[in-house]
């Protein structure tokens, strides 16, 4: 039995149980831990393995939400964007975003209808509408925004800069948001920070809420099958697209979620990487939906779709791939792009509120936390975290925590608003005196922020060598991750502790070499190591569209 389970069996009473280790559950966990609250988070999979890993990787104010006249949401998102740039500078970096514009005046009628809250289908947006939107966006970002204001380029200037852009443009506009390079790692850092801040805060990956009755909640260890029962005063249901399923399992059925699936693809296409340059391209597709694409470490990330679904475990299908490819082809008609360039796919379901909006894009991305009071034989209230965005996780967590502190009769001790996260503390300090090359130190800094100190110290404490199958990583670096980053399955490393999966670099030799390094550290006998290789390969094929015909 896991030691944490044994401990819970002896001490089952706790103030708050959080179900779901995506960004919203982890954000609440961190915020409650800062207030010294005894809190347990359980995640049925790995931390940040659900929708929180399927995001576009943009920390943004939500320019598009201005069309729905959601000014409060945009202001809050911009504030949180600016805070993340300051608190997590190792992962959250400015991202210039360029919009190709094809006419001057279109989109004005839908924009006015939206402002008046009359139903309207989104369509093409012309230069006038975009200019008004970007001016408002800069204003809402405030004078203390760390990012520059928007600019326009004439057709001639834009094509000189990006010769393969669609020549039918009349101009382009460029504004700034931020990219997040490693959302999965930032989640892990928030967990680690929380546990360091409060001895009564514990987060367990691969533990599922199974059922509940009376005041008890039964948890199941997904690795061993062990179960234990805890008695929380309050439950936060942060299960994202699974929220209604979890409430049903607790015995308090709800109908909060009306999810939409969103898929991305990753392409190996050097010509497109050159064409996009440092910018994210923000392209309005034929149906009025926005497709974005930008370069990440020599690959192109492109997406996303927005399709109603009731299945939280859905994956990216071929028609979505074609839809995204079509949008890219419209933006850069001279560059051939097809399915053979796609090296990875990913998909997630937005935990949006049920809605009868005309199109999925018009469903608000704002958050709420409806409360199910004790009842139906269940002795605790359930706060369900509905909607929201990655960008605004801290604001949501702060609001939920304020309410919970009132219920628990506990004071607020600290604010997270100006608190650096994980490897953002002291950034950009570099490890000193390690003897590692400057290039290696830079890559460690990019991967771990100031956490590179600990990684570098581990690397030089024993003989090390680059991976034979992927020399950008070394054997001891993978060892360090396996030892100290809550890894329980091989895919935790490939998909969430590193960018190996996202960048389409998880070939069979890489998977096998990683398994051989991790096995002795996690005490895997040969049959477990083989099962981990099979599990990872299957996951990459069935969920992420990779093929292993080599
Ligand atoms: C395609 C797409 C692109 C997006 N892009 C952006 C973007 O660029 N910027 C942005 O700000 N936002 C973006 N978002 C929105 C953002 O990703 C989500 O709002 C956010 O990640 C939701 O987080 P969550 O913690 O609520 O849900 P999740 O991350 O899904 O977490 C819920 C967790 O609950 C767990 N769980 C379920 N059942 C149980 C159980 N019984 N026991 C224990 N655990 C359980 C699941 O395994 C899951 O990990 C995007 C969303 C999508 C789909």
pLDDT at residue 105 is higher than 90 = no
3-state secondary structure 319-338: HHHHHHHHHHHHHCCCCCCC
pLDDT at residue 324 is higher than 80 = yes
Find all residues with CB under 8 Å of 47, minimum gap 6, and list them: 21, 26, 184, 187, 188, 191, 203, 205, 486, 496
Helical (H) or strand (E) element with 304: none
- Residue ranges around ligand 1 (CB below 6 Å): 19-25, 42-45, 49-52, 54-58, 60, 208-209, 238-242, 246, 262, 304, 348, 350-351, 385, 388-391
From the alpha carbon of 77, which atom of ligand 1 is closest?
Answer: 11
Residue nearest to atom 26 of ligand 1 (CA): 240
* Distance from the alpha carbon of residue 240 to the mean position of ligand 1, in angstroms: 5
Higher pLDDT, 396 or 125: 396
* Distance from the alpha carbon of residue 153 to the mean position of ligand 1, in angstroms: 36
Do residues 84 and 181 make contact, with C-beta atoms less than 8 angstroms apart?
A: no
Calpha distance 126→114 (Å, rounded): 16
Do residues 87 and 254 make contact, with C-beta atoms less than 8 angstroms apart?
A: no
Calpha distance 202→486 (Å, rounded): 12
The 10s digit of each residue's pLDDT in 233-283 is: 999 999 999 999 999 999 999 999 999 999 999 999 999 999 999 999 999
Write down the pLDDT at residue 383: 98
Calpha distance 114→137 (Å, rounded): 17
From the alpha carbon of 239, which atom of ligand 1 is closest?
Answer: 34
Largest distance between two CA atoms of the chain: 71
* Distance from the alpha carbon of residue 118 to the mean position of ligand 1, in angstroms: 30
The 10s digit of each residue's pLDDT in 192-246 is: 999 999 999 999 999 999 999 999 999 999 999 999 999 999 999 999 999 999 9
DSSP letter assigned to residue 416:
S
* Distance from the alpha carbon of residue 351 to the mean position of ligand 1, in angstroms: 7
* Distance from the alpha carbon of residue 303 to the mean position of ligand 1, in angstroms: 16
Residue nearest to atom 3 of ligand 1 (CA): 55
* Distance from the alpha carbon of residue 334 to the mean position of ligand 1, in angstroms: 36
DSSP letter assigned to residue 374:
S
- Give the HSE-up count for residue 83: Cα atoms under 13 Å, Cβ half-sphere: 18
Write down the pLDDT at residue 106: 75
C-alpha distance from residue 460 to each of 93, 282, 406, 433, 485 (Å): 29, 43, 49, 10, 19
Do residues 382 and 247 make contact, with C-beta atoms less than 8 angstroms apart?
A: yes
What's the mean pLDDT in 321-338? 95
Calpha distance 210→143 (Å, rounded): 49
Write down the pLDDT at residue 470: 98
pLDDT at residue 120 is higher than 60 = no
Q: For the chain, what is the mean pLDDT?
A: 95
pLDDT at residue 357 is higher than 80 = no
Residue nearest to atom 6 of ligand 1 (CA): 55
* Distance from the alpha carbon of residue 432 to the mean position of ligand 1, in angstroms: 37
pLDDT at residue 114 is higher than 80 = no
From the alpha carbon of 305, which atom of ligand 1 is closest?
Answer: 1
DSSP letter assigned to residue 375:
B
Residue nearest to atom 50 of ligand 1 (CA): 55
Residue nearest to atom 1 of ligand 1 (CA): 262
* Distance from the alpha carbon of residue 115 to the mean position of ligand 1, in angstroms: 29
Q: E strands along 181-289, which residues?
A: 201-205, 207-213, 216-221, 227-237, 260-267, 280-284
Write down the pLDDT at residue 361: 74
Please state whether the peptide bond connecting residue 379 to the residue before it is cis, i.e. omega within 30 degrees of 0. Answer: no
Residue nearest to atom 25 of ligand 1 (CA): 22
C-alpha torsion sign, points 31, 33, 36, 39? positive
Do residues 309 and 230 make contact, with C-beta atoms less than 8 angstroms apart?
A: no
* Distance from the alpha carbon of residue 32 to the mean position of ligand 1, in angstroms: 19
Write down the pLDDT at residue 363: 82
pLDDT at residue 109 is higher than 90 = no
Q: What is the DSSP string of 455-521?
A: HHHHHTTS---B-SS-TTSBHHHHHHHHHHS---SHHIIIIIISSTTTTT---HHHHHHHHHHHHHH
Do residues 363 and 260 make contact, with C-beta atoms less than 8 angstroms apart?
A: yes
Do residues 403 and 34 make contact, with C-beta atoms less than 8 angstroms apart?
A: no
From the alpha carbon of 46, which atom of ligand 1 is closest?
Answer: 49
Do residues 84 and 92 make contact, with C-beta atoms less than 8 angstroms apart?
A: yes
* Distance from the alpha carbon of residue 119 to the mean position of ligand 1, in angstroms: 28
Calpha distance 196→418 (Å, rounded): 17
The 10s digit of each residue's pLDDT in 444-482 is: 999 999 999 999 999 999 999 999 999 999 999 999 999
* Distance from the alpha carbon of residue 33 to the mean position of ligand 1, in angstroms: 21
* Distance from the alpha carbon of residue 179 to the mean position of ligand 1, in angstroms: 17
Give residue for tokens 């670096």: 477
* Distance from the alpha carbon of residue 44 to the mean position of ligand 1, in angstroms: 13
Please state whether the peptide bond connecting residue 304 to the residue before it is cis, i.e. omega within 30 degrees of 0. Answer: yes
* Distance from the alpha carbon of residue 121 to the mean position of ligand 1, in angstroms: 27
Mutate which of 46, 47, 52 for ligand 1 pocket (most atoms within 8 A of beta carbon)? 52
Q: Which of 19-23, 116-120, 390-394, 408-412 is predicted with the least confidence, judged by mean pLDDT?
A: 116-120
pLDDT at residue 15 is higher than 60 = yes
Do residues 515 and 475 make contact, with C-beta atoms less than 8 angstroms apart?
A: no
Hey, what are 344's tokens?
A: 């990875």
Higher pLDDT, 410 or 113: 410
Hey, what are 488's tokens?
A: 């329980």
Write down the pLDDT at residue 21: 98
Calpha distance 154→161 (Å, rounded): 11
From the alpha carbon of 388, which atom of ligand 1 is closest?
Answer: 19
Considering only CA atoms, which of 174, 92, 91 is closest in space to residue 131? 174
Considering only CA atoms, which of 259, 213, 222, 223 is closest in space to residue 239? 259
Percent of the chain with pLDDT strictly greater than 90 = 89
The 10s digit of each residue's pLDDT in 274-284 is: 999 999 999 98
Write down the pLDDT at residue 125: 78
From the alpha carbon of 264, which atom of ligand 1 is closest?
Answer: 1
Residue nearest to atom 37 of ligand 1 (CA): 239
Do residues 511 and 490 make contact, with C-beta atoms less than 8 angstroms apart?
A: yes
Mutate which of 350, 369, 383 for ligand 1 pocket (most atoms within 8 A of beta carbon)? 350
pLDDT at residue 486 is higher than 90 = yes
From the alpha carbon of 25, which atom of ligand 1 is closest?
Answer: 25
């Amino acid at each position: 039995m896991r030691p944490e389970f044994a401990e819970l069996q002896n001490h089952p009473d706790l103030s708050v149980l959080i179900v779901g280790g995506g960004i919203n559950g982890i954000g609440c966990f961190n915020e409650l831990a800062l207030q010294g609250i005894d809190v347990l988070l359980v995640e049925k999979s790995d931390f940040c393995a659900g929708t929180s890993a399927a995001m576009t990787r943009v920390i943004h104010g939500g320019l598009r939400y201005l069309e729905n006249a959601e000014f409060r949401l945009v202001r809050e998102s911009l504030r949180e964007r600016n805070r993340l740039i300051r608190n997590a500078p190792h992962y959250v970096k400015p991202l210039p975003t360029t919009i190709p514009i094809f006419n001057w005046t279109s989109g004005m009628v839908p924009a006015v209808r939206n402002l008046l809250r009359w139903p309207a289908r989104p369509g093409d947006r012309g230069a006038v509408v975009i200019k008004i939107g970007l001016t408002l966006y800069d204003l809402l970002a405030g004078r203390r925004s760390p990012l520059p204001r928007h600019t326009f380029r004439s057709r001639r200037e834009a094509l000189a800069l990006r010769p393969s852009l669609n020549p039918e443009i009349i101009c382009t506009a460029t504004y700034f948001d931020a990219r997040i390079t490693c959302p999965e790692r930032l989640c892990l850092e928030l967990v680690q920070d929380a546990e360091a801040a409060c001895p009564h805060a514990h987060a367990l990956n691969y533990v599922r809420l199974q059922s509940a009755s009376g005041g008890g909640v039964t948890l199941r260890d997904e690795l061993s099958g062990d179960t234990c029962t805890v008695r929380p005063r309050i439950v936060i249901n942060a299960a994202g697209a699974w929220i209604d399923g979890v409430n049903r399992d607790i015995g308090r059925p709800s109908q909060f979620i009306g999810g939409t699936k969103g898929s991305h693809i990753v392409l190996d296409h050097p010509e497109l990487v050159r064409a996009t340059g440092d910018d994210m391209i923000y392209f309005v597709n034929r149906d009025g939906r926005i497709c974005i694409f930008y370069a990440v470490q020599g690959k192109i990330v492109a997406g996303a779709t927005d399709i109603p679904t009731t299945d939280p475990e859905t994956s990216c299908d071929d028609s979505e791939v074609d839809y995204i490819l079509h949008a890219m082809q419209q933006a850069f008609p001279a560059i051939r792009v097809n399915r053979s360039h796609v090296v990875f796919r990913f998909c997630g379901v937005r935990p949006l509120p049920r809605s009868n909006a005309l199109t999925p894009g018009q469903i608000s991305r704002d958050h709420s936390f409806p409360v199910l009071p004790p009842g139906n034989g269940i002795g605790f209230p359930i706060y369900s975290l509905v909607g929201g965005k990655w960008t605004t996780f801290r604001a949501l967590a702060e609001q939920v925590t304020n309410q919970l502190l009132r219920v628990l009769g506990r004071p607020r001790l600290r604010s997270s608003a100006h608190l650096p996260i994980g490897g953002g503390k002291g950034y950009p300090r570099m490890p000193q005196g390690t003897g590692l090359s400057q290039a290696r130190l830079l890559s460690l800094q990019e991967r771990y922020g100031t956490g590179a100190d600990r990684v570098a110290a581990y690397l030089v404490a024993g003989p090390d060598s680059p991976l034979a199958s992927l020399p950008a990583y070394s054997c001891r670096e993978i060892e360090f991750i396996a030892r100290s980053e809550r890894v329980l399955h091989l895919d935790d490393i490939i998909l969430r502790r590193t960018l190996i999966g996202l960048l389409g670099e998880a070939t069979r030799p890489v998977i096998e070499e990683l398994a051989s390094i991790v096995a002795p550290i996690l005490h895997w006998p040969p049959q477990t190591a083989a099962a981990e290789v099979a599990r990872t390969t299957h996951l990459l094929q069935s969920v992420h569209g990779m093929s292993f015909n080599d």
